[in-house]
Structure 1
Amino acid sequence: MTANALHDLWFGFGVAFQGSNLMWSFFGVLMGNLIGVLPGMGALSAISILLPLTYAMHPVPAILMLAGIFYGSQYGGAIGAILLNLPSHPPHAVTCLDGYPLTRAGKGGTALGITMICSFFAASVGIIVMIFASPLLTEISFKFGPTEIFSIMLLGLLAGSTMSRGSPLKGVAMTLFGLICGCVGTDVNSGTFRLAMNIPELSDGLELVAIAMGLFGVADFLLNVNRMSVIASKAKLRIRDMRPSLAELKTAFWPMVRGTAVGTVFGAMPGTGPTITTFVAYALERKISKTPEKFGTGMIAGVAGPEASAHSKTQVDFIPTMSLGIPGDAVMALILGALMIQGIAPGPQLISDHPDIFWGLIASFWIGNLLLIVLNVPLIGVWVKLLQVPYRYLFPSAMFFIVVGVFSTQNSLFEIWEVLAFGVIGAALMWLGFSVAPILLGFVLGPMVEENFRRSLLLSRGDMMVFVHRPISCVFVVLSALLLTGVTYSAWRASRGAGKGAVLAGGELAVSE
């Protein structure tokens, strides 16, 4: 099988290196990278804008271009998250937590360099998995029904609630707030409005891009608007800072490996978006770290793990999309639609019926990721130069791009008001010491948790024990229980230690008196 796979991969490189195919792949990577940097303009916006181009194109260059836009915008989104605290793509909201503090500490170039290394490594692993493990991963994905998906989403929610710095109770509260936001809109089963307050624009729910831009971009602007000159003076970087030191590479290596593994596992599961992948990778790094309290202050592991998971999932996401016809998120749904527009039906027969598309796409992943490095080595100076623009000019300009980007998603002014509302809410919560990242996780996972919970109970005729009786689901339920127990025990020990400290301090005061 290995020999056949290598032969097919060689055939794919022959397809990808054809002049027109290579040109369109380069065009997709370039446009994805440039659009991904713009606040509010992620992969979904870029593909939506350029999708009409594919109508008159041959299927192979059309799919190669769209794929290039997809993973090109992934890296572009990381640039905006690290340098400006603006996640144009919601999965990069996690990158803001430690990437932006690294920039504030003068290590934004280092964070970008590590992101580039992690993206190439994780993408390469994802491509190898696609080549050799596609049949196995497809078979495993069939074992994940609504019961298993609910259990893994539950674990993701609990892990996300413990990510925030400070009190775990605050993290749980923010996750619950995100779950409530996810319930806004029309109930799928009954068709009734929930928490929509009789506002017709809320019938389809809140917009994910609007929430991400508000909680991270606008909120940061509101918090820092009175100290613009101070921030601008600390934000300048040198281009040579993008070269990580050997010690920084060693620090990033194992988080990169673990993040790649997380992204590969989640990428093989249909219906799981990229946001949960980055949150789980970040939570994993924070859990196993010897200094978890430093996360959120500029930890390299907090950038390497999530970015590696995002890029490995980006590649592996194509397995359920092309072999099962089940997209992992809205972006993959657009690419699936482009396949169907070209008259190509995704499914198990795609590899045998259209080998030029499948193997050409896999080969183009490697070519495209090399093109990303070639593009961003000279462009990295441009991104770093962004920080030399005075804050009082830079962030109002970013606000303009946020408004344009959010408006372009649905052509709705109401979503701009959503951005403003969540910007105010996010600024107030951060001022009170709450972490806003779990809100986004709760919002993304809430509808999926509810849908799969309902489907599980419907199939089991209301038997709650179905989550324990099914082996895969039982494993995730047990892990969730262990995680909850560990957090509770840690909180108890912390409160007990604080109580002992207060008693000792009181005793010393009494003796001194």
Structure 2
Amino acid sequence: MDLITNLSIGFGVAVTPINLLYAFIGCLLGTLIGVLPGVGPVATIAMLLPATYALPPVSALIMLAGIYYGAQYGGSTTAILVNLPGESSSVVTVIDGYQMARQGRAGPALAAAGLGSFFAGCVGTLILAAFAAPLTEVAFKFGPAEYFSLMVLGLIGAVVLASGSLVKAVAMIVLGLLLGLVGTDVNSGVARYSFDIPELTDGIGFIVIAMGVFGYGEIIQNLSKAAEDREVFTSKVTGLMPTKEDFRNMVPAVLRGTALGSALGILPGGGALLSAFAAYTIEKKTSLRPGEVPFGKGNIRGVAAPESANNAGSQTSFIPLLTLGIPPNAVMALMVGAMTIHNIQPGPQVMTSNPQLFWGLIASMWVGNLMLVILNLPLIGMWIKLLTVPYRWLFPAIVLFCAIGVYSTNNNTWDVWMVAIFGVIGYVFIKLGCEPAPLLLGFILGPMMEENLRRALLLSRGDWSVFVTRPLSAGLLAAALLLLIVVLLPSIKAKREDVFQEED
């Protein structure tokens, strides 16, 4: 009964004209970003953070959340029509979606992606609403030792679930932790790693790193590709409705993808991306029906399952953020920043101290998912036209917008130069095959880990055993150790690499 009362509070907030407007703006921008290759949700949310200063906190978070799950939708459009994943979690959709488009079945492919995403988004939001209250109760039992252990588990999870090399993922986490140490020591007030540069005594802004590594880094990477690589289906997409046979194949795949995405989204380390890869792998291992198209040749299950999984994963990744205040991926790390900007301390107290914000955000996700179906399927012609705009016209506008956004946060040209430096670093990461998401996660969690470590040691008078004598903390550290041992087993390591090879 509590859940219905809470959701009625949430819908009361979410369906006010101003919040509906910001949900629509978020969904529209998210779709736009997903459609345009090379501008991901991390870069966009980082760009738009300064613009949310003037907004009410609820409206700001509703808009940013809309951008996140909107980008998951929009990415499938580019993947199917242009053979380019507009968003990292759409990498797998390319394999069968593009083949369907080449066979004149772009309509059913887009409908499968849209309807699968809508269903998965609704289920993911329902899980978020159902589990939020009980998890918040658990979170109130957390002390500094438990929070530190949870963050250790989070970082190890991010390493394990990051695509590509384990060594590179560890390196990215460590670099993020080190960058998080730059600034002034909280306890002693002494400047650390500032190299006598006054601007560094306040630390490096996470907007600067996010926009540089994800925004400018992706732009440089896109400029290095030849424009001829794009093959756009500019002809009108007809026959959006999948056939009965398509529905028969699609429905089980959507259900499997939704269940997998909902579970993996809660885990730290980019649930939406991992969910899409894992869902596609499971579909490939599920036997084909008689007369069904093979995978890689335009199988509708290869579109429906990963798209459902990445959308369910993007919704349930809000669970650790809203209940524990721990961001499970790079986008959620930016949401922590957005909350901090509006003087909201992420964590279990948000539900009790600000129920309108908490439940309003959750209710807005249902509204947003409905908006996305309306935005994506009927307006597909508009998105195709947008894809024909040459990238050389788009990137100067993106660069300028980034620079204005960064400058406006502190009115400081130093930040603009820092973004440019991190842009080059981001491009180097891409060339080296390093996934930059763990870096942002390490950067956000580093200072929080240090603060909780110090607090726990102060309360225990320097006794390190506090981390293993408290049952909850010991359990979290044991889970982290188990995760590390499991992933280092040769058979698991080989399987993990196979899952992430699917994009080739």
TM-score, with structure 1 as normaliser: 0.68
- The answer to whether residue 270 in structure 2 is matched with residue 279 in structure 1 is yes
Would you say 1:74 and 2:68 are equivalent positions?
yes
- Residue 458 (structure 1) aligns with: 458
State the alpha-carbon separation in 2 of the partners of residues 139 and 75 from structure 1.
27
Q: Partner letter of residue 256 of structure 1?
A: T
Residue number in structure 1 paired with 2:227: 229
Cα displacement (A) at 1:157: 1.5
Over 3 Å counting, the alpha-carbon distance change for 1:155 and 1:346 in structure 2 is: closer
Asked if 1:329 is matched to 2:320, the reply is no
Look up the match of 2:316: 312
Report the CA distance shift for 1:307/1:50 in structure 2 as closer, same or farther (over 3 A). Answer: same
- SS in structure 2 at match of 1:329: helix
Q: Corresponding residue for 2:476?
A: 476
Q: Distance in 1 between matches of 2:428 and 2:163?
A: 16
Provide, for residues 452-508 of structure 1, a one-character-per-residue CA deviation record: whole Å limited to 9, x for no partner. 2222222222222222222222222122212222333329987xxxxxxxxxxxxxx
- The correspondence of residues 33-182 of structure 1 with structure 2, limited to 5 A, is 33-36=27-30, 37=32, 42=44, 49=51, 52=54, 63=58, 65-66=59-60, 68-78=62-72, 96-99=87-90, 107=98, 114=113, 117-118=116-117, 121-122=120-121, 125-127=124-126, 129-130=128-129, 135-182=133-180
Matched, 1:256 2:247: no
**In 1, are the aligned partners of 2:256 and 2:279 still within 8 Å (CA)?**
no
Distance, in Å, in 1 between the alignment partners of 2:438 and 2:413 is: 26
Task: State the distance in 2 between where 1:133 and 1:493 align.
Answer: 32
CA RMSD of aligned residues (A): 4.7
Identical columns (%): 33
In structure 2, the CA distance between the partners of 1:478 and 1:48, relative to structure 1 (3 Å rule), is: same
Note the residue ranges of structure 1 that are not aligned, 5 or more in a row: 55-61, 86-93, 266-275, 292-296, 322-326, 339-344, 495-513
Residue number in structure 2 paired with 1:416? 416
1:285-296 aligned within 5 A: none
Rg: which structure is higher?
Answer: 1
Return 106-115 or 424-433, whichever deviates more: 106-115
- Shift of the 492–262 alpha-carbon distance from structure 1 to 2, 3 Å rule, reads closer
Tell me, in whole angstroms, the C-alpha distance in 2 between the residues paired with 1:102 and 1:335.
36
**In structure 2, distance between residues paired with 1:304 and 1:197:** 48
8 A Cα contact 1:261 1:309, kept in partner: yes
CA distance in structure 2 between the partners assigned to 1:112 and 1:305 by the alignment = 16
* Structure 1 CA distance for aligned equivalents of residues 362 and 437 of structure 2: 33
Residues 300-449 of structure 1 mapped to structure 2, 5 A cutoff: 305=309, 307-314=311-318, 329-333=336-340, 348=352, 365-449=365-449
Match of 2:487 in 1: 487
1:8-66 CA deviation, whole Å, 9 max, x = no partner?
A: 756876x469xxx5422321212223455566875577576466465xxxxxxx95x44
Letter in 1 for 2:63: I
**Stretch deviating more after TM superposition (280-289 or 196-205):** 280-289
Q: Structure 1 138/414 Cα, relative in aligned 2: closer, same or farther at 3 Å?
A: same
| 1:237–1:387 Cα contact (<8 Å) kept | no
Cα distance change on mapping 1:232 and 1:446 into 2, 3 Å: same
In the alignment, is the contact (CA less than 8 A) between 1:41 and 1:405 conserved in 2? no
SS at the partner of 2:228? helix
Counterpart for residue 508 of structure 1? none
Alpha-carbon distance in structure 1 between the residues aligned to 2:350 and 2:165: 46
- 2:330 aligns with none
Report the CA distance between 1:193 and its aligned residue: 1.7
- Retained in 2: the 8 A contact 1:98–1:300? no
How far did 1:187 drift? 1.9
Decide whether the 8 Å contact of 1:83 with 1:99 is kept in 2. Answer: no
Report deviation, 1:142. 0.5
**Counterpart position of 1:208:** 206
Question: What's the CA shift string for 1:174-215, capped at 9, x where partnerless?
Answer: 221122112122222222222222222222222223322322
Find the residue that maps to 1:227 and give its secondary structure. coil
Give distance in 2, aligned partners of 1:135 and 1:426.
38
Tell whether the 8 Å contact from 1:228 to 1:391 is kept in structure 2 after alignment: no
Superposition deviation, residue 149 in structure 1: 1.9
Counterpart of 1:446, as a letter, is: G
* Shift of residue 76, structure 1, vs aligned partner: 4.1
For 1:442 and 1:11, locate their aligned partners in 2 and report how far apart those are by CA, in whole Å: 35
Q: Pick from 20, 23, 47: which aligns with 1:29?
A: 23
Deviation at 1:241, TM superposition (A): 11
**Do the aligned partners of 1:185 and 1:195 also contact (CA within 8 Å) in 2?**
yes
Q: If the length of structure 2 is used for normalisation, what is the TM-score?
A: 0.69
- Aligned residues between the structures: 440
Question: For 2:488 and 2:264, how far apart are their aligned partners in 1?
Answer: 25
What is the rounded CA distance, in whole Å, between the counterparts of 2:205 and 2:111 in structure 1? 28
**One-letter amino acid matched to 1:458:** L
Which deviates more, 451-460 or 254-263? 254-263
Match of 2:420, SS?
helix
Check whether the contact 1:122–1:308 (CA below 8 A) recurs between aligned residues. Answer: yes
Task: Tell me whether 230-239 or 155-164 shows the greater mean CA deviation.
Answer: 230-239
Question: What's the CA shift string for 1:298-356, capped at 9, x where partnerless?
Answer: 998776555433323548866689xxxxx972333456669xxxxxx9774877xx8xx
Question: SS of the counterpart of 2:208?
Answer: helix
Is the CA contact (8 Å cut-off) linking 2:147 and 2:452 kept in structure 1? yes
Distance in 2 between residues matched to 1:228 and 1:392, nearest whole Å:
11
Once the two structures are TM-superposed, the CA of residue 424 in structure 1 deviates from its matched residue by 1.4
Confirm or deny: 8 A CA contact 1:79 1:383 kept in the other structure: no
Query: Where does the alignment leave 5 or more consecutive residues of structure 2 unmatched?
Result: 34-38, 80-84, 283-295, 297-301, 326-333, 495-504
Whole-angstrom CA distance in 2 between matches of 1:370 and 1:451: 41
Q: Report if aligned partners of 2:124, 2:315 keep a CA contact under 8 Å in 1.
A: no
Partner-residue secondary structure (3-state), 1:162: helix
C-alpha distance in 2 between matches for 1:164 and 1:233: 30
Distance 2:395 2:235 in 1: 17
2:189 corresponds, among 188, 191, 197, to 191
Contact 2:66/2:365 (<8 A) preserved: no
Mapped contact 2:273–2:310 kept (Cα < 8 A): yes
Q: Is the 8 A contact 1:95 1:307 kept in 2?
A: no
Q: Distance in 2 between matches of 1:401 and 1:84?
A: 23
Counterparts of 2:320 and 2:164, CA distance in 1:
34
The answer for the alignment partner of 1:58 in structure 2 is none
Deviation of residue 415 (structure 1)?
Answer: 2.2
